[in-house]
Amino acid sequence: MSNILVVEDEREMLRGLRDNLEFENYHVDAATDGESALKKIVEGSYDLIILDVMLPRLSGLDVCKRARQRGITTPIIMLTARGEEIDKVLGLELGADDYITKPFSVRELMARIKAVLRRAEGIAAVPSERMVVDDLVLDFASFTATRDGQSLTLSPREFEIMKHLWIHRNKTVTRDELLTQVWGYDDSISTRTVDNFMLKLRQKIEEDPGSPKRIITIHGIGYKLVVQ
Ligand code: CA
C-alpha cells in the first residue's frame, strides 16, 4: 500500500483528496502548511507527495525546492491554480514530477498518481550502481568508465556528480543540490565550481561538448542528465 502525503490548507479540498485516496486504498497523511509539510517529508517515508502551491508559512514551491536540496527524491505532484502557468514551470524546474491544475477531476488525479508511482518504481528497479547510456558506461562501484569501448578517466568527484545526475536522470538537479550532495557544506566552494566541473565532464562524455546532448543546462537553475 502506497503512503501518500497530501499538503493542502483548504479543508474541503483536503477532505475530498483524503476520502478519494483512501477509497483507492492509499494510506494518507496530511499537512496543512508548508513548514509542517517539509518537516514530515524530511522525517517521514512517503511514496508520493501531493503538494499545493498556495500554502501558509512556506509555499509549495519552496517546500519542493528545499526537499530536493536535501536529496529527497520522493515523487511530487504539484497542485496549481488555473492561470498560474508560472507555477507549473517553476514547479517542474524545482524538481516536481508532475502538476495538476485546480479544479481537477478525481479520475484525472488518480491517473496521474498511478503514472508517477509507476515511473518511480521503474527507476527504483534500475540498479543505480551502473549507468548505461548508449555507448557510455559508468560503473560507480568500481569507478570505471568507457565510451564506445574506450576507457575514460574520471575523477572521484566527477563520478559522484555523474552518479547524482544518474539517480535523478531526466530531472533538473539544482547547482545547490549538487554542491550539498557532492561537496557537502564547504564555504570555499561556489556554484561556479559546479559549472567548471560540468565543462570538464562534457568534454569527456559529450560527442560535441559545445552543444551538449547528455548533460543539458537548465538556465539559472542547474543541470539535467537526459536519458532517452
Ligand atoms: Ca491552498
Range of the domain at 147: 130-225
Instruction: Identify the three-state secondary structure at position 29.
Output: strand
Res. 29 pLDDT band, cuts 50 70 90: very high
pLDDT in tens, 164-193: 999 888 888 988 888 888 887 677 778 888
The pLDDT of residue 58: 94
Res. 123 pLDDT band, cuts 50 70 90: low
Q: Order the strands of the 222-225 sheet from edge to edge.
A: 172-174, 222-225, 215-218
The three cell numbers of residue 118 are 509507476
Q: Is the pTM of this model over 0.75?
A: no
Instruction: Identify the three-state secondary structure at position 72.
Output: coil
Give distance in angstroms: CA of 62 to centre of ligand 1. Answer: 14
What CATH number did the domain enclosing 64 receive? Answer: 3.40.50.2300
pLDDT in tens, 95-119: 898 889 988 998 999 999 998 988 8
Give distance in angstroms: CA of 125 to centre of ligand 1. Answer: 34
Res. 49 pLDDT band, cuts 50 70 90: very high
Mean of per-residue pLDDT scores for the chain? 89
Residues 221 and 143 placed together within one structural domain of the fold = yes
Give distance in angstroms: CA of 221 to centre of ligand 1. Answer: 25
Q: What is the DSSP string of 135-195?
A: TEEEETTTTEEEETTEEE---HHHHHHHHHHHHTTTSEEEHHHHIIIII-S-TT--HHHHH
Largest Cα separation within the chain, whole Å, is 60
Give distance in angstroms: CA of 53 to centre of ligand 1. Answer: 6
Res. 82 pLDDT band, cuts 50 70 90: confident
The pLDDT of residue 37: 98
Give distance in angstroms: CA of 52 to centre of ligand 1. Answer: 6
Residues 96 and 194 placed together within one structural domain of the fold = no
The pLDDT of residue 72: 86
Residues 11 and 120 placed together within one structural domain of the fold = yes
Give distance in angstroms: CA of 21 to centre of ligand 1. Answer: 18
Q: Are 47 and 4 in contact (CB under 8 A)?
A: yes
Work out the percent of the chain whose per-residue pLDDT is above 90.
55
The pLDDT of residue 185: 65
Instruction: Single out the residue in 124, 157, 174 at which a domain terminates.
Output: 124
Residues 32 and 115 placed together within one structural domain of the fold = yes
Is pLDDT of 65 > 80? yes
Residues 115 and 51 placed together within one structural domain of the fold = yes
Is pLDDT of 17 > 90? yes
Give distance in angstroms: CA of 180 to centre of ligand 1. Answer: 30
Q: Are 167 and 217 in contact (CB under 8 A)?
A: no
Residues 68 and 159 placed together within one structural domain of the fold = no
Residue indicated by cell numbers 498560474: 84
Residue type, 222: G
Instruction: Single out the residue in 124, 140, 168 at which a domain terminates.
Output: 124
Q: What is the DSSP string of 73-88?
A: ---EEEEEETT-HHHH
